[in-house]
Amino acid sequence: MSVEDKNGGPAFPFVEHYWNAQAKTFILQATKGMSVLDVFAAQAMKEIIREGKTPDNHHGGWAYVATHSYDIAEAMLAEKRKRERRAKA
């Protein structure tokens, strides 16, 4: 399984371009940005904190927030893959 398969691939890919004066041409460079997994984790983290499960009132500290954010994100990504497979069938 590739890295993109594991993290859902790029969430907001874009192409940067800049002028190379020496070569007198534009250079295009693809940038992947955040992964889908990272975006899902960020959304989950917002809800965990909103629910009051912050380091100040939960013994796990920020490690709790980070770990559970990515646990939720991985479950969301697994469900997304399952639905995509069903849609193709």
The pLDDT averaged over each successive group of 10 residues in the chain (89 residues) is 72 80 82 87 92 70 88 95 91
What total of structural domains would you count in the chain? 1
Residue 2 has a pLDDT of 66
Report the distance separating Cα 83 and Cα 28, nearest Å: 34
Domain limits at 32? 3-88
Q: What is each CA distance from 79 to 25, 48, 49, 83, in whole angstroms?
A: 44, 20, 23, 6
Residues 6+ apart with CB under 8 A from 18: 26, 27, 29
CB 10 within 8 A of CB 35: yes
34 in helix, strand or coil? coil
Report the distance separating Cα 30 and Cα 39, nearest Å: 19
CB 43 within 8 A of CB 8: no
Residue 73 has a pLDDT of 96
Residue 55 has a pLDDT of 64
